[in-house]
Amino acid sequence: PVLSAEVPAAKPPPVALLELPPRPVIAVAPLAGEVPASRRGAVADALRVFLDLDPQHHLSVPLPTLQDLDIALTPDMDPTGLARAGRALGHVDALVSGTVDADGVELVVTSTHDGRELGRFRVQGDPEHPVSLARDAAQRLLEAMGSALPPAPPTLTRDPDAYAAYLGALEAARGGDADQTSEHLAEALRRDPGFDLARYSRLSVLRAQRRLDDVSTAGQALLADTPGLAPRLRSLVQAWVAYAAHDGARTIALLTDHLTRWPYDIEAYQVLLVVRFHDPRHRDLAAAEELARQLVAVAPRNETGISRLVRALAWRGKVDDAAQALRDLGLPRDDPRFAEIWGELAL
């Protein structure tokens, strides 16, 4: 689906295949340009959504978390800076950066391994219609990876006001404002009750609030009536429903299988860590330490991974190892995001 006033762009000529590994991991960086930041952000967010629908399931997008991307990347980075930032973010093979202007978007794919430009694409379109522009851009990128979008991606909405509310929820989530996030998602779903991605995001909020009965109800409904939900998201919802039912064994099995298909999915690691820390029948701090180490390898500044790693060590009496882990990660004591973690070690 596209927004109601949009006209599909003419089909571009075939593009050459990019030099990427068989299962590349790609992160979409913040986009530059003279158009308002809200429009640039809308195009980047929609691009991440469309790439996540890839039917060959060989992308892990968005990676890492939006917060990590915003901290590590800036729209004006040169290729060397992008490559360095991508390596620091963890297992990212390429970064998509670019510029949005009044006539469309120009995207550049940069290897994080050597800083080479792997491809450059110009896609015509109106940034006032970010979903349509991002859809066409994603199609060009996926063609260059030997893949394609599904004929009719069902995840996005036809209602521009619903999509604007969803983007507001993403912005509120970046700022850590759970109440505003919930209000924006409620508005998006009021305008379009069938907006799959907003329903999924609301489920994420319910899980974070530990409203498990609501997670179970909303998750089962989402699985039942959204057959076109992106495969990665459907896999996560199945695990959340199992978690809401207090079925720790099934949750672990589902998420372990999930990570064999999407090995860099931060959300999956985070839910597994909750089970390993808080489910009395499956609490295992040694397993939690291993999971946390895997998570910080994927996203070295992920607060959940860092805090769980420290606690998994400290709670087993390995306080010196926990402090060394923080030093190895290069976390300054004066960074307010990690002050609580350092404080726990001091107690």
Q: What DSSP string describes 2-69?
A: --TT--PPPPPPP-PPP---SS--EEEPPPBSSS-HHHHHHHHHHHHHHHTT-TT-----S-S-HHHH
Is residue 278 within 8 A of residue 272, CB to CB? The reply is: no
Burial class (CB in 10 A: 0-12, 13-18, 19+), 251: buried
User: Of 252 and 335, which is predicted with more confidence?
Assistant: 252
User: Of 256 and 9, which is predicted with more confidence?
Assistant: 256
Q: At what angle do helices 248-261 and 231-244 cross, to 10 degrees?
A: 160
Strands 94-101, 26-28: pairing is: parallel
pLDDT of res. 111 = 86
What is the spatial distance between Cα 193 and Cα 159, in angstroms, rounded to a whole number?
Answer: 11
What is the spatial distance between Cα 169 and Cα 89, in angstroms, rounded to a whole number?
Answer: 24
Q: What one-letter code names the amino acid at 337?
A: R
Q: What are the backbone angles phi and psi of residue 127, rounded to the nearest 5°?
A: -65, -10
What is the spatial distance between Cα 133 and Cα 111, in angstroms, rounded to a whole number?
Answer: 24
Length of the chain: 347
pLDDT of res. 245 = 92
User: Of 162 and 341, which is predicted with more confidence?
Assistant: 162
pLDDT of res. 2 = 37
Please report, for residues 33, 84, 148, 256, 337, the alpha-carbon distance to residue 76 in angstroms, rounded to integers and kept in the order given. 9, 14, 29, 38, 25
User: Of 286 and 199, which is predicted with more confidence?
Assistant: 286
Statement: residue 154 has pLDDT above 70: no
Cis preceding-peptide flag for 300 (omega within 30 of 0): no
Average of pLDDT values for 151-172? 73
pLDDT of res. 86 = 56
pLDDT of res. 52 = 67
User: Of 291 and 328, which is predicted with more confidence?
Assistant: 291
Q: What are the backbone angles phi and psi of residue 172, rounded to the nearest 5°?
A: -65, -40
DSSP state of 106: E
Statement: residue 302 has pLDDT above 90: no
CA atoms within 13 A on the CB side of 305: 25
User: Of 27 and 91, which is predicted with more confidence?
Assistant: 27
Q: What are the backbone angles phi and psi of residue 340, rounded to the nearest 5°?
A: -65, -35
DSSP state of 210: T
pLDDT tens digits along 43-78: 887 787 777 665 454 444 443 344 444 444 455 556
Listed in sequence order, the residues at least 6 apart from 131 whose beta carbon sits closer than 8 Å to its beta carbon are 2, 3, 6, 46, 156, 163
Q: Say what percent of the chain tops pLDDT 90.
A: 21
Helices (H), 175-284: 178-191, 196-208, 212-225, 231-244, 248-261, 266-278
What is the spatial distance between Cα 158 and Cα 84, in angstroms, rounded to a whole number?
Answer: 38
* Angle at CA of residue 67, ends 92 and 70, nearest 5°: 75
Sign of CA dihedral 161, 184, 237, 297: positive
User: Of 172 and 289, which is predicted with more confidence?
Assistant: 289
Indicate the average pLDDT of the chain: 78
Average of pLDDT values for 219-239? 83
pLDDT band for position 186 (cuts 50, 70, 90) = very high
What is the spatial distance between Cα 25 and Cα 309, in angstroms, rounded to a whole number?
Answer: 24
pLDDT of res. 103 = 94
Average of pLDDT values for 100-128? 89
pLDDT of res. 87 = 55
